[in-house]
Structure formats: structure tokens, C-alpha cells
């Protein structure tokens, strides 16, 4: 996941901390697209040639991810790997890919071309060259797994923060600050969480400027370019895998379609800052937040 992890246990032991960190490392290793031994790498290497038998855990995560691909009309798409890899490599050099490079990879990105066989517990691609990237899933899933481990160990209250994606458990109200999308040292809002998760996707997290234009890491699977309608999207919900996925999906959908989806889903709330700096709140948050007066 390439991110710092913070764990707060008001009454935890050193063994509890270690167990939670080890669980996060386990999930990271399981889903690491850069690790040639991971199940995801094996799927990417062989999935267009044959149906790949996978673990129950990976199958379950992929099944949930594809359900959210459907809910977001493909805005969240785990088959984004050909494009995300291209932009990642070009981004290191602060270069924009050529149109031809993007068009070639767009043909390989479509979640509908991932075939899951529940009976045989296999994954298969319809097109050669397709690949999965669980970057929009792994952090959230790891947080949920770590919280589950802590609960099994009898820990009553905990907060785990992985690069701004947060999961809390227990009866305590945890106060969490949201980073301002344009002012690094300022807080956009303060949110209270109770046995919930929160995740933010923003155009300020990994980006470069080329000829006055901002190019960030959240790629629209429909266009092949970074999504352009939002500065940041924050999602609050029951599980970290949900909030992680939806933060990406809503960011790509944009303010109008994204807020409609948030309002449609149960137990999900959201804060959207559009590209003009306008702040939109879901109905369950209105009047409950202390918001920065301007962007």
C-alpha cells in the first residue's frame, strides 16, 4: 500500500498492536500487484489464458469490487491496471502519455470482461493484456481485517489510520480532521466517527503539473485521463472497503452523479469538493459539520 499506518488503542497491549500491523502486512502482500508471487500477479499473468483458481478471500474481494463497479456504472473499475500503470510510469517523469498509448489501453479496461465463476472459485479475463489493480480496495480491506483481528482479541476501542483512510470501532466518538484539498496545513472539516470508516480521494495526493495543468492518479476508465470534476471526495460508511471504493468511484463520477449515488446507498454519507471549490454535503451531514468557510 506504500503508506504510513497509525494504530490507536486506548487500552491495547503491545501484542494487540503487533497483531493488527501483521494483519495489514498480510493483506498488503496478498494484493500487491508488484509482488510476482501474489495471487493478483498470478491472475494478471495468466488470466487471459485460463481460468485461475483463487483463494476464497481474493474471490470475495473481487466479487465485492465488481458489484461496486456495477453500482458506479464502471467509474470504479479494478481492470484499470493497464491505464494506472501507464500513468504511474509517465508520472515519474512528469510526462503525459501519448493519445495512442491511452487508446490502446482503454481497450483493455472493462470490468465486464472479468469472469468470476463462483462454483469453481476462478477468475478469468476475456481479453489478452487485461490486468487487475486493487489499489482502490486494498487499504480499506486491510483496515477492516485489522479491526476484526483486534475485536477477536477482545479490544473494545480502536482507530486505525492508513494514509488518511480510517476505521474506528467501539462506543467512543472519534474526532477526525479532513485535509483541505488546496491548503496542506489546513483542515477542511472535523467529523465525528463512531464504529465507522472514512476515506478520501483527492487530486492533491499524487500529481504533477504540466503546462499549467494538474495530472493526478485517479484515472477515469471511460476517458483514460485523470478525472476532472472534483478536488476531493470523502465518504463515510460502515466499512473501510466500502468507503475506499466509493471515494474513488464518486470522485470519477463527479459531483452530480456522485451525490446521487451517495444518497441512494444506505448508511453512506459524503463530502464532495468540486473543481471550482464548491462544497457539497449529503443530506445526513448537513448542519452537523464545522466546514472551512472557503476553498
Q: How far apart are CA 105 and CA 249, in angstroms?
A: 20
Residue where a domain stops, chosen among 125, 156, 181: 125
Per-residue pLDDT for 295 more than 70? no
Q: Is the CA virtual torsion 200, 133, 161, 70 positive or negative?
A: positive
CB 107 within 8 A of CB 125: no
In this structure, the answer to whether residues 177 and 120 fall within a common structural domain is no
- Residue ranges with strand state E in the chain: 5-8, 52-53, 114-117, 122-125, 158-162, 165-169, 174-179, 187-193, 197-202, 207-210, 213-216, 230-237, 269-274, 279-281, 290-291
In this structure, the answer to whether residues 95 and 188 fall within a common structural domain is no
Q: How far apart are CA 123 and CA 116, in angstroms?
A: 5
pLDDT at 293: 61
- Name the nearest CA neighbour of 168 among 176, 179, 158, 177: 158
pLDDT in tens, 182-200: 988 899 999 999 999 999 9
pTM here is 0.95
| In-domain check, residue 153 | no
Residue 258 belongs to domain with CATH number: 3.10.520.10
Residue 76 belongs to domain with CATH number: 1.10.3980.10
pLDDT in tens, 256-273: 999 999 999 999 999 999
Supply the mean pLDDT for the chain: 95
Q: What is the mean pLDDT of residues 143-148?
A: 98
226: DSSP letter: B
| In-domain check, residue 219 | yes
| In-domain check, residue 89 | yes
Q: Which helix (H) or strand (E) holds 172?
A: none
In this structure, the answer to whether residues 184 and 276 fall within a common structural domain is yes
In this structure, the answer to whether residues 277 and 212 fall within a common structural domain is yes
Q: How far apart are CA 12 and CA 113, in angstroms?
A: 45
| In-domain check, residue 17 | no
In this structure, the answer to whether residues 57 and 118 fall within a common structural domain is yes
Residue where a domain stops, chosen among 95, 125, 155: 125
In this structure, the answer to whether residues 108 and 179 fall within a common structural domain is no
pLDDT at 143: 98
Describe the strand order of the beta sheet including 269-274 as a list of residue ranges: 5-8, 158-162, 165-169, 197-202, 230-237, 269-274, 279-281
Q: What is the number of domains present in the chain? A: 2
CB 172 within 8 A of CB 157: yes
pLDDT in tens, 222-268: 999 999 999 999 999 999 999 999 999 999 999 999 999 999 999 99
| In-domain check, residue 144 | no
pLDDT at 116: 98
In this structure, the answer to whether residues 41 and 116 fall within a common structural domain is yes
Residue where a domain stops, chosen among 90, 125, 160: 125
pLDDT at 228: 96
The fraction of the chain above a pLDDT of 90, given in percent, is: 91
Per-residue pLDDT for 48 more than 90? yes
Q: Show Cβ contacts of residue 115 under 8 Å, excluding neighbours closer than 6 positions.
A: 51, 123, 124, 125, 126
| In-domain check, residue 13 | no
Q: Show Cβ contacts of residue 212 under 8 Å, excluding neighbours closer than 6 positions.
A: none
At residue 33 the predicted structure's pLDDT band, cuts being 50, 70 and 90, is very high
Count of Cβ atoms closer than 10 Å to residue 94 Cβ: 11
In this structure, the answer to whether residues 120 and 210 fall within a common structural domain is no
In this structure, the answer to whether residues 204 and 285 fall within a common structural domain is yes
pLDDT in tens, 82-120: 999 999 999 999 999 999 999 999 999 999 999 999 999
Q: How far apart are CA 80 and CA 134, in angstroms?
A: 9
Question: Structural domain of residue 273, as residue ranges?
Answer: 173-291
| In-domain check, residue 188 | yes
Q: Which three cell numbers stand for residue 275?
A: 473543481
CB 222 within 8 A of CB 80: no
pLDDT at 169: 97
| In-domain check, residue 119 | yes
Amino acid at each position: 500500500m506504500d503508506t504510513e499506518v497509525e494504530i490507536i488503542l486506548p487500552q491495547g497491549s503491545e501484542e494487540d498492536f503487533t497483531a493488527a500491523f501483521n494483519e495489514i502486512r498480510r493483506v498488503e502482500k496478498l494484493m500487491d500487484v508488484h509482488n510476482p508471487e501474489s495471487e493478483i500477479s498470478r491472475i494478471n499473468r495468466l488470466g487471459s489464458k485460463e481460468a485461475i483458481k483463487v483463494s476464497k478471500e481474493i474471490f470475495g474481494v473481487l466479487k465485492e469490487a465488481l458489484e461496486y463497479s456495477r453500482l458506479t456504472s464502471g467509474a470504479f473499475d479494478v481492470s484499470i491496471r493497464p491505464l494506472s500503470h501507464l500513468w504511474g510510469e509517465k508520472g515519474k517523469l512528469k510526462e503525459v502519455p501519448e493519445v495512442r498509448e491511452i487508446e490502446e489501453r482503454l481497450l483493455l479496461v472493462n470490468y465486464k470482461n472479468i469472469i468470476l465463476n463462483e462454483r469453481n472459485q476462478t477468475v478469468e479475463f476475456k481479453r489478452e493484456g487485461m490486468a487487475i489493480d486493487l489499489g482502490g480496495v486494498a487499504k480499506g480491506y486491510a483496515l477492516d481485517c485489522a479491526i476484526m483481528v483486534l475485536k477477536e482479541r477482545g479490544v473494545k476501542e480502536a482507530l486505525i489510520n492508513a494514509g488518511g483512510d480510517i476505521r474506528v470501532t467501539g462506543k467512543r466518538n472519534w474526532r477526525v480532521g479532513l485535509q483541505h484539498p488546496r491548503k496542506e496545513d489546513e483542515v477542511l472539516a472535523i467529523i465525528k466517527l463512531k464504529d465507522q470508516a472514512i476515506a478520501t480521494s483527492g487530486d492533491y495526493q499524487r500529481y504533477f503539473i504540466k503546462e499549467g495543468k494538474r495530472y493526478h492518479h485517479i484515472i477515469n476508465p471511460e476517458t483514460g485521463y485523470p478525472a476532472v470534476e472534483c478536488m476531493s471526495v470523502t465518504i463515510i460508511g460502515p466499512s473501510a472497503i466500502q468507503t475506499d471504493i466509493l471515494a474513488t468511484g464518486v470522485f470519477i463520477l463527479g459531483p452530480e452523479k456522485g451525490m446521487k449515488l451517495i444518497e441512494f446507498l444506505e448508511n453512506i454519507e459524503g463530502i464532495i469538493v468540486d473543481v471550482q471549490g464548491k462544497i457539497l454535503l449529503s443530506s445526513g451531514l448537513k448542519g452537523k459539520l464545522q466546514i472551512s468557510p472557503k476553498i
